Amino acid sequence: MPLMWNILAARLHQKNRTLKYPDGPAPELPERFAGAPEIETGKCGENCDACLRQCPTGAILREINTGELRIDLGLCLFCRACERACPSGAIHFTHEYRLAAARREDLITGPGREFPAEARQALAEKLFKRSLKLRFVSAGGCNACEADCNVLSTVAWDMGRFGIQFVPSPRHADGILVTGPVPENMRLALLKTYEAIPSPKIVIATGACAISGGLYHSHPETHNGAADLVPVDLWIPGCPPHPLTILDGLLRFLGRIS
């Protein structure tokens, strides 16, 4: 009996904390949060390449014809090294958390590109809109992407509300969610897991590492992310992506929100 009272007292104390999002407002992001970056190429100094030199992953690209700068969010660590290096304040990181895209090329930002890009996918919407079971494969993930995916299963984010769930067997899954740059030592395990999932199936690459190798891009020990080994259907950038970025990506992909 005392135990039951303890449990009830704790339950009253903890209250109901599940987010209202997406029916209500999205949870507040911290003031210093780094979302999608913006570049105003017009402000760039002549022949200045300060941001390109400081970027740890080579995520900043210069268009050959126009000289305009673009940022590949699939490589970007959102570390603000470019923002700090820029002598003319041409780069800043916004609070835009909606970063996921269904096509790799849509992760490249810059003038003339709409952002956030469309992430909706017809097959996913048709088959998995109300129930998506995912097998989680960490392939060189540092446990940050893992933690921010894990948190989606807690009572606060509760992605089970949308029928989305991580399942313990590939046989029960509709697809895999991959994190990490895919070390050579994980190549076979990733391929076998993919093969063990019944078709039709999807692959979600979460975090800069899984999209492009990220910080480990061009390391001979890794495969520069999942895409060389398995066909990726949804790309969720970040290092790690904020849980809100991941959930938004999943919901837009499934056509649950627009």
Partner 1 sequence: MTTECLLVRNARAFPFAACPVVEMPAFRETVIENVRLGARLNALFAMFQPENDTLLLLAVMAHDADGSLRILATRPGERYQALTPACSQAHWFEREIFETWGILPESHPWLKPIRFLPSRAQDVPSAEIGRANFFRMDGEEIHEVAVGPVHAGVIEPGHFRFQCHGETVYHLEISLGYQHRGIERALAAGITPRTLHYAETAAGDTTISHTTTCCQAWETLAGTQVSARAEAIRAIAAELERIANHIGDLGALAGDVGFLPTQNYCGRIRGDVLNCTALICGNRFGRGLLTPGGVQWDLDTALAQNLRARLAEIEADAVSAIELMFNTSSVLARLEGTGVLTAATARDIGLVGVAARACGLSRDIRRDFPYGIYRFHHLPVCTWSTGDCFARAYVRWLETRQSFRFIREQLDALPEGPISSSVGPLRPDSMAISLTEGWRGEICHVTRTDANANLTVPKIVDPSFHNWFGLACALRNQAISDFPLCNKSFNLSYCGHDL
Task: Name the minimum Å distance from CB 63 to partner 1.
Answer: 22
Instruction: Tell whether residue 206 is a contact of partner 1 (CB under 8 A).
Output: no
Q: Which of 57, 109, 212, 245 binds partner 1 (CB under 8 A)?
A: 57
Binding partner 1 (rule: CB under 8 A), the pick from 21, 22, 38, 54 is: 54
Nearest-approach distance from CB 119 to partner 1, in angstroms: 22
20 binding partner 1? (CB under 8 A): no
Spatial distance between the Cα atoms of 159 and 154, rounded to a whole number of angstroms: 8
SS3 for 80-113, per residue?
Answer: CHHHHHCCCCCEEECCCCCCCECCHHHHEECCCC
Stretch that binds partner 1, among 2-10, 38-46, 65-73, 112-120 (CB under 8 A): 2-10
Cβ neighbours around 46 below 10 Å, total: 5
Looking at 24, 25, 30, 89, which residue binds partner 1 (CB under 8 A)? 30
Whole-angstrom Cα distance, residue 72 to residue 57? 10
When asked if residue 11 is in the footprint of partner 1 (CB under 8 A), the reply is: yes
> Considering Cα of 205, then 209, then 212, then 213, what sign does the dihedral take?
negative
Specify the residue, 104 or 219, whose C-beta has the smaller distance to partner 1.
219
Q: Using the minimum distance from each CB to partner 1, give the nearer residue, 9 or 123.
A: 9
Cβ atoms of 145 and 179 within 8 Å: the answer is yes
Based on the shown chain and the rule CB under 8 A, indicate whether residue 183 belongs to the binding site for partner 1: yes
- DSSP symbol at 171: G
Phi (first) and psi of residue 239, to 5 degrees:
-145, 80
C-alpha distances in angstroms, 218 versus 57, 60, 65, 86, 224? Answer: 10, 16, 26, 26, 6
Which lies closer to partner 1 via its Cβ, residue 14 or residue 65? 14
**Residue 143, interface with partner 1 (CB under 8 A)?**
yes
Query: Length of the chain in residues, anyone?
Result: 258
- CA-based end-to-end distance of the chain: 49
**Taking contact as CB under 8 A, which single stretch among the options 65-73, 101-109, 116-124, 176-184 is the one that binds partner 1?**
176-184
**CA distance linking residue 223 with residue 100, whole number of Å:** 21
| Closer residue to partner 1, CB minimum distance, 92 or 120 | 92
Q: By CB under 8 A, name the one of 70, 98, 201, 242 that touches partner 1.
A: 242
Judged by the rule CB under 8 A, the positions of this chain that interact with partner 1 are 3, 6-7, 9-11, 13-14, 17, 30-34, 53-57, 77-81, 135-151, 153-156, 166, 168-169, 180-181, 183-186, 188-189, 193, 215-216, 219-222, 239-240, 242-243
